[in-house]
Structure 1
Amino acid sequence: MRDAVIVDAVRTPVGKGKPGGALSGVHPADLSAHVLKALAERNGLDPATVDDVVWGCVSQVGEQTACIGRYAVLAAGWPESVPGLTIDRQCGSSQQAVHQAAAGVISGQYDIAVAGGVESMSRVPMGSSFAGGSYGAPYGPLVAERYHHHFFNQGTGAEMIAAEYGLSRAQLDQHALDSHARAARAIDEGRFKSQIAPVTVTDAEGNSRIFDTDEGVRRGGTLEQLAQLKTPFQADGVVSAGNASQVSDGAAALLVTTSEIAAANGWTPIARFHTGTVVGADPITMLKGPIPATEKVLRRSGLTLDQFGAFEVNEAFAPVTLAWLSATGADYDLLNPNGGALALGHPLGASGARLMTTLLHHMRDHGIRYGLQTMCEGGGMANATVLELI
């Protein structure tokens, strides 16, 4: 029986996804190439031995179109014989990329694969692929009719989830403050150093510097400050920019192979890909998928929640993670212990790989046997992954 193990995982620091953000001057193909090259250099990987590069990206338009997974390979200077694949499962695109790489390795279609993803939201703004389209253009008239012409909006969905689970503005804002505090502590204690591949960037004045620290983390915030922010999705709502994920730029990559091939190459894997699954959920609230995804992956893995020492649940909006906590009864202290997307940012197509990179290094650093990752996805879907420390 072939297995799938993750040898290493690396990411860029996450930049603010706006003009002037640290990574805004880097083409997304080049940003992808940066982590591909870092992964190869860290592990003595001969790129010619890679059977496929499976790459997540959400806004596949403009600079991120035409199979950016392929152009990432070429930008990295890897042999032309190495193919690339681009996946869109919305925010879970690069988590799904890991699932497909693992499936390919287990089935024997691949011996060595690289999975990951990228998003440059400063250069390819969120929703730009829909620009100029009429109402319902991404969904078509049959979907619009099925859901009674309801407007699909993640922010509105987050408001609906907050109402369903009785989550107050103060609870959401406190969750955001906790995320920033955890991320700041992780930075101060050097927890991200082993996973980050620093990027040399050039500012508008032509000055070069090394960018090596996640850019979106804020320190010293208060509930009083966050309470002043508007709630754009609902006039009397609870979801604001302060308790929603940040638009961001970033990339991440993971090296996936079998235990036998890893040993033959002298690699010591971090973890085994234990179980992966995906579910569909209500596309109107859209963001509750991590709850049934967790239930499904626990059934398939044969594990119980109390066997896990860490959870990475994407903080797309604060109601998503707090609803997941309420539904599962998980320990809040084990959720996103190094901060989440509320603080670190959410570079859409890279986020699944970024979360998994952070989870893997945290598991190794703290001797945690089982880790679980799940994230909500546009259209009402969610992936869930169980990793087992080696």
Structure 2
Amino acid sequence: MDAFIVDAVRSPRGQARAGGALAGVKPVHLLAQMYEAVAARTGIDTGAVEDAMIGCVSQTGEQGSNIGKIAALYAGWSPAMPAATINRFCSSGLSAVGLAALQAAASDGLAIGGGVEMMSRVPMFSDNGAWRNDREIAEATHFMSPGIGADLVATRHSISREACDAYAALSQQRAASAREAGRFAASLVPVRDMAGMVVLAQDETIRPGTTLGKLATMQPAFAAEGEAGGDAMLLRHFPDLDAVHHVHHAGNSPCMADGAALVLLASRQALQRHGLRARARILAVADACVPFVQTGAVEATRKVLDRAGLKLSDIDLFEVRDSFAAVTLHYVRTLGIDMARFNVNGSSIALGHPMGATGAMLVGAALDELERIDGKRAVVAIPGAAGVAVAMVIERAQ
């Protein structure tokens, strides 16, 4: 693919609660600040940007009306730039970057990919979609909540509560160490309120005091949902199982968060035309879907490596949304990935998951870490609801 990453920016992740640091910031304002940062850091003529693709899962209320376009206008970008807001569940942000890369390559120009999600202001499922809220449609299409689905992965693949807690503690430790060492600084854009005061400059979601002992005291989060009918539905579809083991809780599941991120992409000719320097090239993008469960990232990773003509051993880093711990451990074990190359600075369990933005955040995280360690290639992957997944291979520009 002839598409290059010029720059990547993100907001700090805020806790998705009423008192969270970003809860007083409107979604349009947050995303607009990312647009402003891209323009300031790269010096581009925004009228030369061919298109913007923005991921957002809950496209209702303050996040409705094509927020990707409205935020660009609010940021003072040229009205000549179109934009689209897309929803592919948790993988929306990475899909948006992939689509923008295709747009840049096809148009021989510039494009923006990214995402936004303000879960403190527009809660998960607030769009009242039929998949979850229409019982007939939910049953006909086998709707499964993410938590129940993650517990199914743990049950089917014999992943214990202890293993899940150990991974969650590792994610927290790595994220806390990375924040302390300033490893996130290159991409971070401090968020300001309407008065221009900085309200958040560092990720608010990390819990550095997390221990195995504390995690062991937490009650399963999805057992009640299982008792209310979720387990029975799963056992009908998987008759080889005797029961569903509920191993996930708030400490080993992704924490909901507020945040936004953008990636500026360009074709080879556009780099020269606009005097820009590429930080990386996107070698390949692949989508996959595995029915019922959130394990599609395994297949998406295999597909994207095959498309890029690479092997697992050719990859220096894996940046994968560590959604629920069992889903993440299944990915690592199935592909045989060395943990020394995997989510080395923590991921969504510690850092948080602003759904539509996470994929774009991971692209920036992978690029920053490749540059820090002088690595060459990274895989970025996200599993999501309905088994949908996206994977991307990026390679540092020479």
Question: C-alpha deviations, 1:218-268, integer Å up to 9, x for none?
Answer: 112211111111102126621000000011000000000012221332322
Tell me the distance in 1 between the aligned counterparts of 2:93 and 2:81: 19
Tell me the equivalent position of 1:126: 124
**SS of the residue aligned with 1:261?**
helix
Q: Distance in 2 between matches of 1:252 and 1:339?
A: 17
Alignment of 1:49-88 (within 5 A): 49-88=48-87
CA distance in 2, matches of 1:367, 1:329: 23
Aligned to 2:216: 227
2:287–2:390 Cα contact (<8 Å) kept: yes
Cα drift, residue 26 of structure 1: 0.9
Letter in 2 for 1:349: G
Give the Å deviation of 1:134.
Answer: 9.3
Structure 1 SS opposite 2:329: helix
Q: Which of residues 352, 358, 366 is equivalent to 2:365?
A: 358
Partner of 1:322: 329
1:262 to 261, 271, 281: 271
Instruction: Provide the C-alpha distance between the structure 2 equivalents of 1:264 and 1:136, rounded to a whole number of angstroms.
Output: 50
Moved over 4 A (4+): 133-136
Match of 2:38 in 1: 39
- 1:208: Cα distance to partner? 4.2
Q: How do 1:194-233 and structure 2 match up within 5 A?
A: 194-201=186-193, 208-233=197-222
Indicate whether 1:145 and 2:140 are aligned: yes
1:13 Cα deviation after fit = 0.5
Distance in 2 separating the partners of 1:117 and 1:36: 11
Match of 1:165 in 2: 157
Query: Structure 1-normalised TM-score?
Result: 0.93
Task: Please tell me the residue identity of whatever aligns with 1:199.
Answer: V
Deviation for aligned residue 1:176 = 0.9
Q: Pick from 172, 176, 186: which aligns with 2:178?
A: 186
User: Alignment partner of 2:357: what SS?
Assistant: helix
Partner of 1:272: 281
Aligned match of 1:246 in 252, 255, 275? 255
Q: Structure 1 59/328 Cα, relative in aligned 2: closer, same or farther at 3 Å?
A: same
Counterpart code for 1:353: A
The whole-number CA distance in structure 2 between the counterparts of 1:276 and 1:361 is 19
What is the letter of the counterpart of residue 154 of structure 1? Answer: P
1:361-380 deviation line (CA, Å, top 9, x unaligned):
11122221110011112222
| Residues in 2 aligned to 1:326 and 1:17: alpha-carbon distance in whole angstroms | 31
Is 1:111 the equivalent of 2:109? yes
Deviation at 1:207, TM superposition (A): 11
Q: Deviations over 1:297-337 (max 9, x none)?
A: 12111100011010011011111111000100011111111
Q: 1:145 to 1:261 in 2, by over 3 A?
A: closer
Secondary structure of the residue that 1:241 maps to in structure 2?
A: coil
Measure the CA separation in 1 of the matches of 2:11 and 2:162: 32
Tell me how many residue pairs correspond in the alignment: 377
1:209 to 1:3, Cα distance in 2 relative to 1, 3 A: closer
Distance in structure 2 (CA, Å) of the matches to 1:343 and 1:221: 10
Counterparts of 1:237 and 1:367 in 2: how far apart (Å)? Answer: 41
How far apart in 1 are the matches of 2:77 and 2:259?
20
Q: Is the 8 A contact 1:278 1:293 kept in 2?
A: yes
1:275-317 CA distance string (max 9 Å, x none): 00101111x22x1101111111121111000110100110111
CA contact (8 A) 1:22 1:201 kept: no
Return the alpha-carbon distance in structure 2 between the equivalents of residues 87 and 386 of structure 1. 21
Partners of 1:72 and 1:255 in 2: CA distance: 16
Q: 2:341 aligns with which of 334, 345, 352?
A: 334
Q: Contact (CA 8 Å) 1:73, 1:83: kept in 2 or not?
A: no
CA distances 1:186-206 after superposition (whole Å, capped 9, x unpaired): 11111111110111248xxx9
| Cα distance, 1:140 vs structure 2 | 5.8
Equivalent-residue separation in structure 2 for 1:252 and 1:146 (angstroms) = 32
Tell me the secondary structure at the aligned position of residue 129 of structure 1: coil
Corresponding position: 1:174 with 2:166 = yes
Amino acid at match of 1:75: Y
CA contact (8 A) 1:182 1:339 kept: yes
1:91 touches 1:378 (CA, 8 Å); kept in 2? yes
RMSD: 1.9
Could you tell me which amino acid in structure 1 is paired with residue 300 of structure 2? A
Q: Distance in 1 between matches of 2:389 and 2:187?
A: 25
Given the superposition, is the C-alpha separation of residues 232 and 256 from structure 1 closer, same or farther in structure 2, using an over 3 Å criterion?
same
Contiguous gaps of at least 5 residues in structure 1? none
Cα distance, 1:210 vs structure 2? 4.5
**1: distance between equivalents of 2:104 and 2:196?**
43
In 2: Cα distance, 1:310 partner to 1:37 partner: 29
Q: Structure 1's 210 and 121: CA in aligned 2 closer, same or farther, altered over 3 A?
A: closer
Which deviates more from structure 2 when the two are superposed, residues 259-268 or residues 52-61? 259-268
Gaps of 5+ in 2: 225-244
Q: What is the TM-score of this pair, normalised by structure 2? A: 0.91
